[in-house]
Structure 1
Amino acid sequence: MSINLHGRNVLSVDTLAPGELRFLVQLASDLKVAKRSGSERKQLCTRSLAFMYERNLPFVRAAFEVAACDQGARVICIGPDQFAREPSSEIRQMAGMLGRIFDAIECCGLSHDIMTAVAERAGIPVYNVLSQQCDPCQVVADFQTMREFTHKHLSDVTLSVIGNGRVSGARSLAIGAAKVGMDFRLVSPKELWPDQQFIDRAKAEAWKNGGKFAVLEDIAAGVLDADFVYASRWFSHDEENARADRAVQLLTPFGVRMATLEATGNPHSKFMRFVPDFVCHQTRKSGGDETGSPDASQNVLESKASIVLDQAENRMHATKAILVATLAR
């Protein structure tokens, strides 16, 4: 089947068919090889791109700017002081004007309502990174990284995500894994499980594509035989202090330690982590100790099992794949 994403928005993993998701993962891998070999071809010359952000995450912004630059495109950044924060006629008007000036818009950390309004009115491809609901770019980067560190097809991979099951990263990975047919386990305190409607939808999507989906509290059962153990973020972008403190209490036993990796029983198991948190970690009062962050100990982060730096690099290649797939002629 021919894959054509030209002119498409990429707002969530839900909007990508399984074949389209696999296509982006392969394209990201191909573009990485081309960049490293010096054979990359610029396909976005004369293109102008907007990076529209509510939260200024330097790593996410850098991945977008480098990806665009490698392909010959220009990037203009638009911060929260330059647009209204509430969905309104002003936002829609601004989106329409941006659509006349730019060829695509990447939205970083915008609320769902604002991002949807921009996508509806701009008339050009709009990409979502790190919203409260989803982060499709990170899923492409993570699946690309998994393919690099296992001989297995994605459909044969067992992925265990440990931490807060309600945050966008965990939910995006769950849907992405279901679309490519993985054996996916979400290991989380029951109080932080996704809602039942989401669980039912993820299970149905996994069953349709030959995969499995489970939500567990038992860490040992959740990581058994896992090819990849993934530390999910502990907090949502808009987490209130009271809720964050409660999350720390619940999640402290779910921090990934060396014992967690050993519990997989798989000597080749790899450790992964949500990349923007790794690079732009904001310190909170937590149950962590001096040897590491609360979601993963320092010896895990620096172990041979850790592939978080490969994830970091691959976010740039994944971003580039989405740009090329939707904009290249």
Structure 2
Amino acid sequence: MSTRHFLTLLDFSKEELMQVIKRGSELRLMQHEGVIYQPFVGRTLGMIFEKSSTRTRISFETGMGQFGGHAIFLSPRDTQLGRGEPIEDSARVISRMVDIVMIRTFEHSIVEKFAQYSQVPVINALTDEQHPCQLLADIQTFIEHRDSIEGKTVTWIGDGNNMCASFIHAAHQFGFQLRVSAPYGFEPNADLIKQYSHCVELVEDVNEAVKGSHLVATDVWASMGQESEQNTRARRFAQYMVTRSLLDKADPDVLFMHCLPAHRGEEISYDLLEDPRAVVWDEAENRLHAQKALMEFLLTDKIKLA
């Protein structure tokens, strides 16, 4: 059996994605009920971080610990990646010593090449092009609050970034319609829009974009590595702040999500996260449960399921 990786949502079938999400909800309930479930005793997760993150590190490291396993945090100072050793050599060595690897980095080609030469499953914990782990948590959160997302309308507001790209893949995989409302010049990749035109459309007017929407999501205006563009982006994105009044134009049962960290007074109003339609805290917690389910799925041949 060839090694499975999770670099984008397209690496799994819709049925497999739903299996992981359903299992994530089961693991969430087990954890809340205090159930001790440790299928990863003796297993090790290698966590390679070239981009820092609070939620990604805590969720993966905590998840591995709750499963009875061990996680090794590797910062840019702790590996030879980017310091002369080819990625393929690092992959060959690291994958001989751990059972599974997650990578959070810049160029998507890095996780692709690492996975190509890895003997163990590799998880994309974020690249400049994709953030599939976040979408597992987002879809799990929507299903827990509103049941199936199939056939629903989702609106992405703001930068056509890695999160937006993963929402496009999610629209295709889960069968919902995605509207993207972004400033001119900050739209998602044109080829991606063209490829998934059956489920994605660009809507310039943000007020039109949210009409009837069942889920509204956004992200910061300037992501890590784009700090020098902050002032320019603040001017260009000023009309794309998500507010309570904007959500009022959506479906009465609309949910709001943000992958965090959020900048109040920029992409969201100061009071939005206190709105009952905002489910960002459940969304953040579900990174833990969805990723546990993902690791369990990828290592299913090495563990005994409870």
Q: TM-score, normalised by structure 2?
A: 0.92
Determine the C-alpha separation between the residues in 2 that align with 1:202 and 1:235.
25
Determine the C-alpha separation between the residues in 2 that align with 1:253 and 1:320.
38
Identify the residue that residue 197 of structure 1 maps to in structure 2.
191
1:306, distance to aligned residue in structure 2 (A): 1.1
**Structure 2 residue 242 is the aligned partner of structure 1 residue 227:** no
CA deviations over 1:272-312 (Å, ceiling 9, x no partner): 1113x23xx6xxxxxxxxxx330101211111111110011
**Structure 2 residue 243 is the aligned partner of structure 1 residue 257:** yes
Amino acid at match of 1:164: D
Determine the C-alpha separation between the residues in 2 that align with 1:6 and 1:139.
25
Is the 1:68–1:74 contact (alpha carbons within 8 Å) kept by the matching residues of 2? yes
1:41, distance to aligned residue in structure 2 (A): 2.5
Gaps of 5+ in 1: 282-291
Identify the residue that residue 266 of structure 2 maps to in structure 1.
294
**Structure 2 residue 109 is the aligned partner of structure 1 residue 123:** no
Determine the C-alpha separation between the residues in 2 that align with 1:95 and 1:87.
14
Determine the C-alpha separation between the residues in 1 that align with 2:44 and 2:200.
40
Higher normalized helix content (fraction of residues): 1
Amino acid at match of 1:267: P
Gaps of 5+ in 2: none
Q: Select the residue among 53, 59, 65 that pairs with 1:57.
A: 53
> 1:106 aligns to what SS in structure 2?
strand
> 1:320 aligns to what SS in structure 2?
helix
Equivalences for 1:1-329 in 2 at 5 Å? Answer: 7-86=3-82, 89-151=85-147, 153-165=148-160, 167-203=161-197, 207=198, 212-239=199-226, 241=228, 243-264=229-250, 266-275=251-260, 277-278=261-262, 292-328=264-300, 329=303
Determine the C-alpha separation between the residues in 2 that align with 1:192 and 1:46.
45
Determine the C-alpha separation between the residues in 2 that align with 1:178 and 1:113.
22
> 1:100 aligns to what SS in structure 2?
coil
Determine the C-alpha separation between the residues in 1 that align with 2:265 and 2:68.
38
Determine the C-alpha separation between the residues in 1 that align with 2:186 and 2:146.
30
1:92, distance to aligned residue in structure 2 (A): 2.1
1:88, distance to aligned residue in structure 2 (A): 6.2
From the superposition, tell whether residues 69 and 302 of structure 1 become closer, same or farther in structure 2 (CA, over 3 Å): same
Identify the residue that residue 285 of structure 1 maps to in structure 2.
none
1:135, distance to aligned residue in structure 2 (A): 1.0
1:250, distance to aligned residue in structure 2 (A): 1.3
Is the 1:87–1:114 contact (alpha carbons within 8 Å) kept by the matching residues of 2? no
1:6, distance to aligned residue in structure 2 (A): 8.8
Determine the C-alpha separation between the residues in 2 that align with 1:84 and 1:240.
26
- Which range moves more in the overlay, 95-104 or 244-253? 244-253
Amino acid at match of 1:41: Y
Amino acid at match of 1:158: T
Determine the C-alpha separation between the residues in 1 that align with 2:287 and 2:26.
14
Determine the C-alpha separation between the residues in 2 that align with 1:155 and 1:325.
23
Report the aligned-residue RMSD. 2.0
Is the 1:87–1:113 contact (alpha carbons within 8 Å) kept by the matching residues of 2? no
Determine the C-alpha separation between the residues in 1 that align with 2:103 and 2:38.
23
Task: Count residues with an aligned counterpart.
Answer: 301
Determine the C-alpha separation between the residues in 1 that align with 2:212 and 2:235.
27
1:39, distance to aligned residue in structure 2 (A): 3.3
CA deviations over 1:118-140 (Å, ceiling 9, x no partner): 21222111111121111111000
Amino acid at match of 1:326: L
Amino acid at match of 1:262: D
> 1:149 aligns to what SS in structure 2?
helix
